[in-house]
Amino acid sequence: MTQLINDTGFVPEDWTHGFCAQGAANDCLALDLPSDADPAAIDLAEGLQMIRIDFPSSADGRGFTIARALRLRGFTGRLRAHGAVIADQYAMARRAGFDEVEVTDEIAARQPADQWLARANWQENDYQSRLRG
Amino acid sequence: MPKPFTPKVITANALLEGDVIYMSATGWTRDLARADILTDEADADLRLIEAAAQTDKVVGVYLADIKDENGVPTPVHFREDFRARGPSNYAHGKQEAGKQEQF
Amino acid sequence: MYHYTDFDGAFLKERNAQFRAQVERRIDGSLTEDEFKPLRLMNGLYLQLHAYMLRVAIPYGTLNGRQMTRLADIADKWDKGYGHFTTRQNIQYNWPELRDVPDMLDALAEVNMHAIQTSGNTIRNVTADHFAGAAADEVADPRPIAELIRQWSTDHPEFQFLPRKFKVAVTGSENDRAVIKAHDIGIQIVARDGVIGYKIIIGGGLGRTPMIGKVLHDFLPQEDLLPYLEAIVSVYNLLGRRDNKYKARIKITVHENGIEDIRARVDERFALIKPLFTGIDQQTLARIEADFAAPDFKTASEAPYHHARQHDPLFRSWSDTNLAKHKAPGYAIVSISIKAHGKTPGDATSYQMRLMASLAKRYGHDELRISHEQNVILPHVHKEDLPAVYAALKAAGLGTANIGLISDIIACPGMDYCALATARSIPIAQDIATRFDELKLEHDVGPLKIKISGCINACGHHHVGHIGILGLDRAGVENYQITLGGDGTQDATIGERAGPGFSADEIIPAVERLVLAYLNLRAEPAETFLQTYTRLGLAPFKSALYPETQTATAA
């Protein structure tokens, strides 16, 4: 099982339409992407409401760039980081364009909600937003 | 034919101090001379698993090759020799007085 | 010097509080060692052979007296009374304990210093020409853009978990003292028709597969710098290999995909990123540039300097080797050698650090630099004050007249401290320096750069040493390979392997044979080792290194 996390802490799963893999029918509502996906090759169809990007390990940072690249391409739907993300990466995930994080129960048990809420202030102390303007 | 099992000790670094430590009969020690010499492969593997599980105390647990010199474990490789002794440019670490006690 | 803003201060405070909590969470089990390791690394904390090691950033190698004094205080309070200056303008403490590190970081933050991104697979401490702002030959001071890049790369959300570490160096001079062609990104400030722009070089690096960087852009407009860098690192983050750590650096990405392919990808990403930069970064840069305005240079008599040169042969010798040309009349750049013969290259005691700090305050407009050659620089000293500076340095064991000479050796910590090392480097450096001091030959030999690495990762830059020494583990014995003809300047060249390696006992005599061969081979005393090597090639040096083989072939 997994635990969904956003700026308010641990929240129940509210997405009920499932996920489809890349290359599935074009009426896909929510797309699951592996960490080696090429963000330039994703078909951002009109009906696409959510993209979920996998983190196979907390040391694999490709998902952050994939998220940012999708936002740069104009994707405004829901963006979710999924897998081996740790609380210390929550601010990075939010700044890179993710809306929320979905982690394994094992991680959620070791890193309770307070450790994630400690990073809910991700809009503060942000050098990059200061330099972009 | 499988390679014969050569004598080993269990070694790691201490989580809080970082110092090189070894598994002795009574727990971790900083002194290689007091380390338990493991001569049976199955026993060594089991004790390695037990030692590695102490993640609140140690980091980077592994089995290091040694020679058994009259019951005293002695490093085979120069890297283990440096780990057991300390740096060569200053008398720091294990070369400082009072640093060889039980961990 | 850069003045920290309230934002910078608040950032550090928050970051240090986070790290303090991460240490506690590691101890209480919230974080596994696998999870904690990247977090401690991005805060400069390694677990080495005998102890933890804290690597503190000295961004672009610049610090003031108060900061140097604080480094000394930290060495005394939490370490063993000394620090080690590194080839990336950092300082390392070899003996901290885990629970003390958050306090050390707080002590650093009080003087606007940190250990952020001095390790880990992220953009590392930005390095720069150590003569920046003082050199007579520079187009512009590289430190303002180095500071801009420091801010942009700090805690960058996309780039904390890259395929591998990522190093950026900046120079403002055609004469490259920052080894920019051996960096993941090297930046050279250039002027074209009076307009400043940047030459961007990528894919250089030493290590297992040494490569000289390639030009990605020959004149990048100033305002495009940050979005362009962001595009490069973005492309690398997705394209860089994660299946093999020895193939994960951008030099391999560039080599495997080709510079044209990388350029096309960077241009495409740049087009998307550029509109997000509204120009505020250029206002920030202007503020930073004002902070780096040149100090108020004084006008004074140079007579004391000339007098000392005439009457004190030791001062004359020191001023011949340890001074460089300054842009301001009457001034000199002083290189303080942290390479006393027989001592550990780059190690300074807390006493020496405090002395250098006080000299900087009294005679050097309160500025110090750390060079990648592991020396300390007083960038702005009037010649009037040089005799006093020299006398004080000499009394503290800092007066060695050997900058650029054979005993001014770069050496990584090697197996005395580093968990990755395959052999020791420090004792080899100590023994070479001691031997040539005994021979009293080093001033006759002249400019000669020896660089020693204790493993293939090449922190000691051996590939670009005139004589490079690489320590390896050959069947359980330390073995030292020699490379010749390397060059870390604007003419960057990777040295050639001379042949089979030498044992720890054989390596010092081997270097001696090489140097004596050079003295016989040089066309005239002014021809340097590197020039002789370039003129004659490997063969005569090889015969000197392997005399037995030579005899065997002749017989």
Pair (C434, C354) in one structural domain: no
- Beta bridge partners, C198, equal C189, C220
Q: Per-residue pLDDT averaged across A86-105, rounded?
A: 97
Residue A122 covered by a domain: yes
User: Is residue A7 in a domain?
Assistant: yes
Inspect the interface and report whether the beta carbons of C237 and A65 lie closer than 8 Å.
yes
Structure tokens at C175: 């004469």
In chain A, the number of structural domains is 1
Q: What is the pLDDT of residue C535?
A: 98
Distance from CA of C107 to the nearest CA of A (A): 20
Closest C-alpha among C125, C98, C128 to residue C114: C125
CB neighbour burial string for B42-60, b if at least 16 within 10 angstroms, e if fewer: eebeebbeebeeeeebbbe
Same-domain status, C414 and C546:
yes
Of B15, B78, B93, the CB nearest to C50: B93
Cα–Cα dist A95/A89, whole Å: 10
Stretch A65-78: mean pLDDT? 97
Q: Which residue among C115, C149, C164 closes a domain?
A: C115
Confidence of residue B4 (pLDDT cuts 50, 70, 90): confident
**Chain A positions in Cβ-Cβ contact with residue C31 (cut-off 8 Å):** 86, 110-111
Inter-chain residue contact C281 with A131, CB threshold 8 Å: yes
Find the farthest-apart pair of alpha carbons in chain B and give their distance in angstroms, rounded. 47
Q: Do A133 and C15 touch (CB under 8 A)?
A: no
Q: In the structure encoding, which two tokens stand for residue C550, read together?
A: 């030579």
Asked if B79 and C473 come within 8 Å (Cβ–Cβ), the reply is: yes
Same domain, C334 and C461: no
Whether residues C488 and C363 share a domain: the answer is no
C434 burial type by CB count under 10 A (0-12 exposed, 13-18 middle, 19+ buried) = middle
> At C98, which CATH number?
3.30.70
Partners for A (CB, 8 Å, 3+ pairs)? C
Instruction: Classify residue A116 as left (phi > 0), alpha (psi -120 to 50) or beta.
Output: alpha
How many Cβ pairs within 8 Å bridge chains A and C? 112
pLDDT at A122: 96
List of chain B residues whose C-beta atoms are within 8 Å of the C-beta of residue C420:
none
Residue B13 phi, psi (nearest 5): -115, 145
B contacts of C96 (beta carbons < 8 Å): 18
CB atoms within 10 A of CB C224: 18
Chains B and A are touching, with contact defined as 3 or more CB–CB pairs separated by less than 8 Å: no
Chain A residues touching residue C35 (CB < 8 angstroms) = 58, 86, 88
CB atoms within 10 A of CB C421: 27
What is the C-alpha separation between C30 and C491, in angstroms, rounded? 51
The tens place of each residue's pLDDT in chain C, 555 residues long, gives 999 999 999 999 999 999 999 999 999 999 999 999 999 999 999 999 999 999 999 999 999 999 999 999 999 999 999 999 999 999 999 999 999 999 999 999 999 999 999 999 999 999 999 999 999 999 999 999 999 999 999 999 999 999 999 999 999 999 999 999 999 999 999 999 999 999 999 999 999 999 999 999 999 999 999 999 999 999 999 999 999 999 999 999 999 999 999 999 999 999 999 999 999 999 999 999 999 999 999 999 999 999 999 999 999 999 999 999 999 999 999 999 999 999 999 999 999 999 999 999 999 999 999 999 999 999 999 999 999 999 999 999 999 999 999 999 999 999 999 999 999 999 999 999 999 999 999 999 999 999 999 999 999 999 999 999 999 999 999 999 999 999 999 999 999 999 999 999 999 999 999 999 999 999 999 999 999 999 999 999 999 999 987 554 444
Mutate to test the interface with A, among C35, C162, C165, C278 (most CBs of A within 10 A): C35
Interface of C with A in 27-46 (CB under 8 A): 29-32, 34-35, 38-39
| Alpha-carbon torsion, ordered C151, C156, C159, C165, to 10 deg | 40
Minimum CA–CA partner of C37 in chain A: A59
- Residues with Cβ < 8 Å from A62, sequence gap 6 or more? A35, A36, C237, C238, C242
In C, minimum Cα distance to B87 occurs at C416
- Among candidates C37, C243, C241, which has minimal Cα distance to A58? C37
CB contact under 8 A, A61 and C277: no
Q: How many CA atoms lie within 13 A of B9 on its CB side?
A: 33
Between CA C330 and CA C506 the distance in angstroms is: 47
CA distance C147 to chain A (A): 12
User: In this complex, which of C33, C99, C473 lies closest to B59 when CB atoms are compared?
Assistant: C33
Report the C-alpha gap between C345 and C416 in whole angstroms.
Answer: 13
Q: Does C191 map to a domain? A: no
Q: Which residues of A touch C151 (CB under 8 A)?
A: 127, 130-131
Q: Is residue C252 part of a domain?
A: no
**Residues C292 and C141 sit within 8 Å (Cβ to Cβ):** yes
Q: Which of C404, C400, C504 is nearest to C447 (CA)?
A: C404
Each residue's pLDDT tens digit, B70-79? 999 999 999 9
Q: Is the pLDDT of residue A24 over 90?
A: no
C360 with C475, same domain?
Answer: no
Instruction: Choose the final residue of a domain: C97, C115, C133.
Output: C115
Is residue C348 within a helix (H) or strand (E), and if so which, with residue range? strand C347-349
Pairing of strands C467-474, C450-453: parallel
Q: Do A72 and C156 touch (CB under 8 A)?
A: no
Whether residue C430 and residue B17 make contact (CB cut-off 8 A), yes or no, is no
Strand partners, C267: none
User: How many alpha carbons fall within 13 Å on the CB side of residue C331?
Assistant: 23
SS3 C17: helix
pTM of this structure: 0.95
Tokens of A85: 């993300």
Domain boundary among C395, C424, C459: C395
How would DSSP label each residue in B29-88?
ES-GGGSPPB--HHHHHHHHHHHHT-TTTEEEEEEEEEEEETTEEEESSHHHHHHHH--S
Q: Collect all residues of chain B within an 8 Å Cβ-Cβ radius of residue C344.
A: 89-90
pLDDT of residue B96: 87
Neighboring chain C residues of B90 at a CB cutoff of 8 Å: 80, 344
**Angstrom distance (rounded) from CA C184 to CA C165:** 9
- Are C527 and C421 within one domain? yes
- Enumerate neighbours of C (3 or more CB pairs within 8 A): A, B
What are the phi and psi torsion angles at C217 (to 5°)? -145, 130
- Residue A37: CATH number of its domain: 3.40.50
Report the distance separating Cα A66 and Cα A93, nearest Å: 11
C399 and C318 Cβ atoms separated by less than 8 Å = yes
Q: What CATH number should be reported for the domain holding residue C484? A: 3.30.413.10
Q: If pLDDT is split at 50, 70 and 90, which confidence band does A42 have?
A: very high
| Nearest by Cα to C533 from C480, C495, C506, C500 | C495
pLDDT in the model for residue A27:
81
CATH number, domain at C384? 3.90.480.20
Does a structural domain hold residue A18?
Answer: no
Give chain B's contact residues with C (Cβ, < 8 Å).
13, 15-20, 55-56, 59-60, 76-79, 82-83, 86-90, 92-94
Residues of C within 8 A of A85 (CB-CB) are none
Q: Which amino acid is it at C439?
A: L
Residues of chain A contacting residue C30, judged by C-beta atoms under 8 Å apart: 110-111, 115
Tell me whether C479 touches chain B (CB under 8 Å).
no
Contacts of B15 in chain C (CB under 8 A): 26-27, 98
Containing structural domain, residue C458: 410-554
Same domain, C382 and C429: no
Across the interface, whether the CB atoms of C80 and B83 are under 8 A apart is answered no
**Is residue C416 less than 8 Å (CB to CB) from chain B?**
yes
Do C and B have ≥3 inter-chain CB pairs under 8 A?
A: yes
What residue type is assigned to position A105 of the chain? D
Distance CA C90, CA C354 (A): 17
The DSSP H or E segment spanning C147 is: helix C143-153
What Cα–Cα distance (Å) separates residue C125 from each residue in C170, C211, C213? 11, 21, 19
Residue A31 falls within a domain, yes or no?
yes
**pLDDT on residue C554:** 46
CA of B30: which chain C residue's CA is closest? Answer: C50
**Taking CB atoms and an 8 Å limit, are C238 and A65 in contact across chains?**
yes
Number of domains in chain C: 3
Residues whose CB falls within 8 Å of the CB of residue C39, separated by 6 or more in sequence, listed in order: A88, C19, C22, C31
Please give the angle made by the CA atoms of C181, C422 and C501, to the nearest 5 degrees: 80
Pair (C373, C414) in one structural domain:
no
Print the domain residue range for A63.
Answer: 2-13+23-132
Does residue C83 form part of some domain?
A: yes
Q: Among B94, B9, B10, which residue's Cα sits nearest to residue B57?
A: B10
Asked if the model's pLDDT at residue B101 lies above 70, the reply is no
Interface contact C29-A60, CB threshold 8 A? no
* Cα separation values, C118 from C56, C58, C91, C165, Å: 7, 9, 10, 10
Q: Do C97 and B17 touch (CB under 8 A)?
A: yes
Residue A90 CB neighbour total at 10 angstroms: 26
